[in-house]
Chain A
C-alpha cells in the first residue's frame, strides 16, 4: 500500500516539561513575599510561579530543583527556565542555571482518515492495547523511543515522549500501521 504519499502531517506540540537546578537553597517565604505571580503551598513545601511571556508555570522547591511546564517548544522551555532563574537571581539568591533537561513532550496529531481500532489492535498485538470498556483509544507503546501514543477512532493521535525528536519519530513509525487499518469505503 502506498503509505509514502506526500501527506504532510501537522504535529502540534501542546506541552513541554523541563527541569533544572539552581545549586543553592531557596527561601520559599522570601520568594512568596517578594515575587509577583506566585502561589505558596506551605503544606507541600513548594512555590508555584507563573510567567507571562513564555506562558510557563514553574514549581520551585527549597532544595533548588525547579520544574517548568506549559511551554510549546523546547527552545521556549529553555528561555522560560532562564527567565525564571534570572528572577530568582534578582531576588537575591546565588542562582546557577545547571542541569537543564527536557523531561516530557506532549503532542497532538490528526490523521486525514478514520481508523478501525479493533483491526489495528489485532495487527499490532504486543505494542497495542485496546479496552473499550475502560478508555476509547488504543494505547500504543514504542519501547525503544520510550514513547506512548493514544490513537482514537477519529484519527486523532496524542503522543507523549522524552523529547520532540522522539515524538516525531514515533508518529512516523506508527503511520504505516495506522494507514493499514484505516476506514475504507467498501
Chain B
C-alpha cells in the first residue's frame, strides 16, 4: 500500500495498485474511486527500452573476430601459399587485413569487396618488399574485376595511410621472362627456338631500359612492354631462324598469355630502334626497315646510351656546340631555366613552347600522332554575371500556348498509337 496518498472522495489511505485490462490504476479500496491511472499508450523513449537489441550491439560483435573475417584471414594465407611467397609475407598481409577490418567502411562492405580486400593486402605486402606482383595476376587468381579491385585498393591505401612503392620493373622482367617456356627443347618447341635464359634475360632488360628512356613505359601498363621486349630479344639472338615467327605464335609456344597492347608496343620499340640505327654510321648505308633492324639489335643496344642522347638532339647540331652545351648544363648553376629567353643557340630548338615538326625528335608516342580535334581558343568574354536579362532573351526558352497545345495533342496521339496493338 503506497504511503502518502489519500483518496480525494472519502479521504481514506487505503490505495491499491490495480490494473483494468492493461491499464494500470491506483484505486481506493474503500470507495472504489480511481485516483490516478496509467497511460494506455507508450512514448517512443518508453518503447526504446522494450525493443529488442540487435546482435551487433549486444554481444560485443565488433570486438570479436567475426566469421567472415576469419574466412578472409584464411584466404590471405592461402593466396600467399599459392603465390609461393616467403613466410614473413603471410604475417604482414594478415596484419594488414586485420587492420583494414577495424574500419567500419570495410567491416560493413559487401562480400565481393571483402574478397578483393584479400588480394589488396597481399599486393601491398609484395610491393613493400619489392616482390614483383601485378594486379592482373591477382585479379585472375581471385576472379575479380579490375575496376572493383582498383577501387578497393585505393580505398585501403587511403584508410590505412600506407606508403606503397611502385612496381620494380627489373624484378618484374626477371620473373616474367623466367615464366616463358623456351629454355629447353620439347615436342612443341623446336630446337632452333630454344634459347639460353641468361642471354635472353640480359637482352630483355636492356631493351626495357631503352623503352623506359624513350617514353614507351611511362603511364602505360608494364606487362605488354616486357612481352614485346622479350619477343624482340628472342628474335634478335637468332634472327635467321626466328624472323618468320610472329608475336602471337611466340607467346603460344612459350605458353604465356599475349596481352592485347603488346603488338603496338612492339611496333613502337622497332620504330625507336630504327631511329637509333640512323645514328650509326655503318647502319645508315644499309637502309633498314622493321624486319632487318632485328638482326642489328645487339649492336644498337651496345651503344644505346650514346645513340639515345644523339637521337634526342637536333640532327643538325655540330659536335662542338653540343659539347659546350653539355658543359653549360652540368655547370654549377644547375640547369638553366627552360623558358624561351634562355635558349642560346638554335641547336636546342625543342625547348620552344610548341613542338616543331622535326622528325629527328624522340617524343612520347601520343605527341607524335596528330591531335584529333584542334581546340579553338575561347573568345575573351565580358560577362560579369550581374547583367540585366531582357524578356526577349527568355522568350526563346518558353513555348507559346499554341505550341503547348500541339505538344499535348502529339503526346496524346503517341499514347493512343502505342496502346493499340499493331495487326500482325
Q: How far is the CA of A75 from the CA of B136 in the complex (A)?
A: 46
Are A6 and B339 in contact, with the CB atoms below 8 A? Answer: yes
Among A112, A126, A129, A137, chain B packs the most CB atoms within 10 A around the CB of A112
Contacts A12-B378, A133-B136 given; does A118 touch B398 at CB 8 Å: no
Considering the chains assembled together, what is the distance between the CA atoms of A87 and B263 in angstroms?
Answer: 56
Chain B residues lying within 8 Å of A86, measured Cβ to Cβ, are 389, 394
A132–B219 contact, CB under 8 A?
Answer: yes
How many Å lie between the Cα of A152 and that of B339 in the bound state?
A: 20
Closest to A10 in B: B377
Q: A161-186: which have CB < 8 Å to B?
A: 179, 182, 184-186
* Whole-angstrom CA separation of A133 from B149 in the bound complex: 11
Query: Is B82 in the interface zone, CB < 8 Å from A?
Result: no
State A34–B401 Cα separation when bound (angstroms): 8
Q: Taking A34-B398, A118-B218 as contacts, is the C-beta distance between A112 and B353 under 8 angstroms?
A: yes
Contact A126 B383 (CB under 8 A): no
- Please give the distance in Å from B358's CB to the nearest CB on chain A: 14
* Of A20-28, A62-70, A76-84, the one touching chain B: A76-84
Residues of A close to B153: CB separation below 8 A: 131, 134
Q: A104 near B: Cβ within 8 Å?
A: no
Known: A35-B399, A86-B394, A185-B309. A79 touches B134 (CB 8 A): no
Instruction: Mark contacts of B46-80 with chain A using CB atoms, 8 A cut-off: 1 yes-contact digit, 0 otherwise.
Output: 00000000000000000000000000000000000
Mostly, the A contact residues are loop
Residue interface mask A1-39, B partner, CB < 8 A = 1:
111111100001000000000000000000001111100
Residues of B within 8 Å of A74, CB to CB, are 385
Is A90 located at the chain interface by the 8 A CB criterion?
yes
CA distance A184 to B336 in the complex (A): 11
Interface contact A121-B342, CB-CB below 8 Å? no
Q: How far is the CB of B139 from chain A (nearest CB, A)?
A: 10
Q: Which of B150, B338, B348, B381 contacts A134 (CB 8 A)?
A: B150
Inside 8 A of B378's CB, which chain A residues have their CB? 12, 72
Interface size (A, Cβ < 8 Å)? 58
Q: How far does the Cβ of B378 sit from chain A's closest Cβ, in whole Å?
A: 6
Which residues in A have their C-beta under 8 angstroms from that of B383? 54, 73, 75-76, 79
The residue from A2, A5, A33, A182 contacting B408, defined by CB atoms under 8 A apart: A33
Q: Chain B residues near A52 (CB, 8 Å)?
A: 396
- Measured CB to CB, the closest approach of chain B to A112, in angstroms, equals 5
> Do A125 and B163 contact each other (CB < 8 Å), given the known contacts A2-B336, A118-B218?
yes
Interface residues of B in 181-235 (CB under 8 A from A): 215, 218-222
Min CB–CB distance A114 → chain B (angstroms): 6
Q: Is A130 interfacial (CB 8 A cutoff)? A: yes
CA distance A167 to B370 in the complex (A): 29
Q: Please name 27 pairs of A and B residues whose Cβ atoms are closer than 8 Å in the assembled complex, sorted by A.
A: A1-B334, A2-B339, A5-B337, A5-B338, A7-B340, A33-B404, A34-B404, A51-B397, A54-B383, A82-B386, A82-B389, A86-B394, A90-B395, A113-B338, A131-B153, A133-B136, A134-B135, A134-B146, A152-B219, A153-B215, A153-B218, A153-B219, A153-B364, A154-B367, A185-B348, A186-B305, A186-B312
